[in-house]
A and B are shown apart, each in its own frame.
Chain A
Amino acid sequence: MSEKKASSSLSQRIRRIVIDQSKRAGAGHIGSALSIVDIVAAMYADVLRIASPDDPDRDRFILSKGHAALAVYAALFLRGWVPQEQLDTYCGDDTLLGTHPEHALKGVDFSTGSLGHGLSIGAGSALAARSLRSPRRVFVLLSDAECNEGSVWEAAMFAAHHRLSNLVAIIDLNGQQALGYTKQVMNLSPMAARWLAFGWDVMEVDGHDVAAITGAVGRFDTASGPPHLLIANTVFGKGVSYMEGQIKWHYWPMSDEEYTRALDEIVSAP
């Protein structure tokens, strides 16, 4: 239970950074970043085996939904790989911390931002690990709407065909996309059945329960069998009540008053 508590607090620290940096930079994509905070916390607290960002045998983490990069920057900061003064350049001039992640930043394995790209890179990375007999595993975090992209399914076919058991995809299933709800824009239901039909091992969890995410990943057999999908059921904008489930917070920046409210909610959260 102490582990759960530590990770929960990591989530809240990430949320605080997301809110602070978004406000300082006047940037949007806040709801998308808040949606993956607990997944990112699980990854960087317990799941990813990364002795150092330069270790060739480290686990790879690909944020295929690159527009939520701020949550990952916060985790990299909390792991000590990104210093405070660099974190504070988020969305400024001459920064490596733009809205979408750049591999030039220590701790970012691949530059992303074009949806539908990450899973095929991850499949290649996982295939390479197997060929090299490397223990590294590959984690790819996608958005649900990203599955509109046909290339996701090309990669899904490939990974299942080659039984890339060391590949773990996580879908941040918040039911929203840029201009609307996924059920209205492009229905993705039933998500689990689709991936099962493609030959993946599928598990579903509460995407805001860090211990559940960590536990589910721990139950995946990453040494043999098919590739794995963790469907993380999430709430867009999680942790800031007025952002939760609201389309406008895909792009919208906060006013001073909204920032104060968001901060109050995050600081007072358990």
Chain B
Amino acid sequence: MRGAFIRTLVELAEQDPRILLLTADLGYMAVEPFAEKFPDRFFNVGVAEQNMIGVATGLAEAGYIPFTYSIVTFAALRSYEFIRNGPIVHQLPVRIVGVGGGFEYGTNGITHYGLDDVGVLAVQPGVTVIAPADHLQTKTALKATWDMPGPVYYRLGKDDKTVVPGLDGRFELRCVQCIRETGSVLMLAMGGVSTEVIAAADLLAEQGIPCAVGVVASMRPPPVDDLAEMLQRYDAVITVEAHYSSGGLGSLVAEVIAEGGLRCRLIRRAVKRLPGGVSGSQDFMYRTHGLSRQALAEVVLQAIEPDMQTSIAD
């Protein structure tokens, strides 16, 4: 996603001189196309994320559209109060680009896991929060949001190859991207873990069990109307996110169900505990936290038939 993001940003920057790129010394093999093409519009501010956001605030007030780039935790958490009191309070077009949503930084451990970024930013009014599912959707989402008047947070992944089948890069603000509609259970996914969700639906389809799938990339503004409409059509919804279980997609869907008085049962699949010092590949971490395709397929089977002996092999 980050490669697609930077390539798209270069395209946009060719058309609009207001676009700048700031990095807090991260983005090796990612930011170079922009840096080489626009050396005067690229700033490595050093390892100083708070200052990066403060500088971007000053630049944005003067009319620029600064994109700030770092790993999710440093971009969103270290500089959080500067984001709040700067771009959000002043409603300035600062872009915060976090790379490594969920467990993408695998063996780098908890300091590099993006498990709370969407939650902490989504509580703030006046910020757009975008969590694309793959690199095709990243490109569409950036093109749809780059020149919005207020701040935007982009939660990206490093993966520039994997595609969520059937998503076809679709993105609209305030919308759920529906991929499959048939079945009594709906799986809703946020971010790169969407590929596991589709794979889980495929495992179930092999057994003749249809399962609906949707992707939510527009976390703020939230797709409330789409969700309310969709949730009426299913007995159960399983939200899936490589994010702590509070503040992300599961929380959003819970709010929509509760406030809409809907009858749809909610099962939240998210990271429910601290990793406890254990790290490993993204796949390992997905398995450990119940986010692997097999585990997700089991959740669907349990939702359909709670007493059934589950039979998806790991």
Contacts and interface: CB of A to CB of B under 8 A. Distances in A.
Contact of A124 (B40, B48, B57, B81): B57
B256 interface: no
Contacts of B89: 103, 111
Contacts of A116: 50
Interface string A221-261: 00000000000000000000000000000000000000000
Interface stretch (B61-69, B173-181, B209-217, B275-283): B61-69
Interface in A146-198: 150-151, 154-155, 157-158, 161
B228 interface: no
A166 B40 CA distance: 18
A137 interface: no
Given A125-B58, A128-B63, A158-B46, A110 B51 contact: no
Interface string B122-154: 000000000000000000000000000000000
Nearest to B91: A103
Contact of A132 (B51, B53, B62): B62
- The main secondary structure of chain B at its interface with chain A is helix
Contacts of B58: 120-128, 138
A111 B48 contact: no
B13 interface: no
A150 B81 CA distance: 14
Contacts, number: 94
B59 interface: yes
A157 B46 contact: yes
Among A110, A114, A129, A132: residue with most chain B CB under 10 A = A110
A20 interface: no
B236 to A, nearest CB: 44
Given A125-B58, A128-B59, A132-B63, A111 B90 contact: yes
Nearest to B90: A103
A117 B64 contact: no
Contact of B50 (A56, A110, A154, A161): A154
A109 interface: yes
Given A103-B90, A157-B48, A117 B63 contact: no
Given A110-B90, A128-B62, A155 B81 contact: no
**Interface-centre pick from B50, B51, B60 (highest chain A CB count, 10 A):** B51
Contacts of A117: 54, 81-82, 85-86
Contacts of B85: 111-114, 117
B52 to A, nearest CB: 8
Contacts of B81: 114, 117
A220 to B, nearest CB: 19
Contact of B62 (A111, A129, A151, A154): A129
B312 interface: no
B55 A120 contact: yes
A120 B54 contact: yes
A132 B46 CA distance: 23
B56 interface: yes
A155, A157, A161 interface centre (most CB from chain B within 10 Å): A155
Candidate in A103, A112, A154, A157 with the most chain B CB atoms within 10 angstroms: A154
Contacts of A138: 58
Contacts of A122: 58
Contacts of A120: 50-51, 53-55, 57-58, 82
Contacts of A111: 85, 89-90
A17 B261 CA distance: 55
Contacts of B40: 131
A69 to B, nearest CB: 15
Interface in B263-290: none
A158 B86 contact: no
A186 B50 CA distance: 22
B40 to A, nearest CB: 8
A246 to B, nearest CB: 30
A125 B61 contact: yes
Nearest to A116: B50
A154 B48 contact: yes
A127 B55 contact: yes
B82 A110 contact: no
Contacts of B35: none
Given A117-B81, A124-B62, A131-B64, 16 more contacts: A110-B61, A111-B90, A116-B50, A117-B85, A120-B54, A125-B59, A125-B62, A128-B62, A132-B63, A154-B46, A154-B48, A157-B48, A157-B51, A158-B48, A158-B51, A161-B46
10 contacts: A103-B89, A103-B90, A117-B81, A120-B57, A120-B58, A128-B62, A131-B40, A138-B58, A151-B50, A155-B54
The 4 closest A-B pairs by CB, nearest first: A124-B58, A120-B54, A128-B62, A125-B58
Interface of B: 40, 43, 45-46, 48, 50-51, 53-64, 66, 81-82, 85-86, 89-90
